Amino acid sequence: MKLYMTPGSCSTGIHILLEELDLAFEAYIVNLPTGDHTRPDYLAINPKSSIPTLVRDDGSVLTEFQAIAYWLARSHPRARLLPGDADGDARVIEAMDYVVGTLHGQ
């Protein structure tokens, strides 16, 4: 897989998840201050011009931190990154959304 990320940004969380799951991936550095995310080659991959972006082994592109994290967790159940019951999973998503969507932005 290919992870498009900026070190020190929220995308580092996806990098940590990929490492935690011991998955093979290549990290592509997107330099936000110099505007890498607004360049046509990156917009062709993620028209929202945000990071993180994960290009999966089948070539499909997944964006949005929570969606990527959820997909990684569900795709690798033996790692037990999600509790697996509706309430537990909702609590994980609740915490993740607060950290990525609120705390991170501040």
Ligand X SMILES: N[C@@H](CCC(=O)N[C@@H](CS)C(=O)NCC(=O)O)C(=O)O
Q: Is 12 in the site for ligand X (CB under 6 A)?
A: no
| Of the residues 23, 28, 49, 56, which one makes contact with ligand X according to CB under 6 A | 49
Distance of CA 32 to the CA centre of its chain: 16
Q: Is 14 in the site for ligand X (CB under 6 A)?
A: no
State which amino acid sits at residue 8. G
DSSP code at position 82:
S
> Parallel, antiparallel, or unpaired: how do β-strands 26-29 and 2-5 relate?
parallel
Site for ligand X in 87-106 (CB under 6 A): 100
H/E element, 93: helix 86-97
Q: Encoding tokens for residue 17?
A: 């998840």
Q: How far is the CB of 13 from ligand X (least distance, A)?
A: 9
Count of residues interacting with ligand X (CB under 6 A)? 12
Q: Is 64 in the site for ligand X (CB under 6 A)?
A: yes
Residues that bind ligand X (CB under 6 A): 9-10, 32, 37, 49-52, 64-66, 100
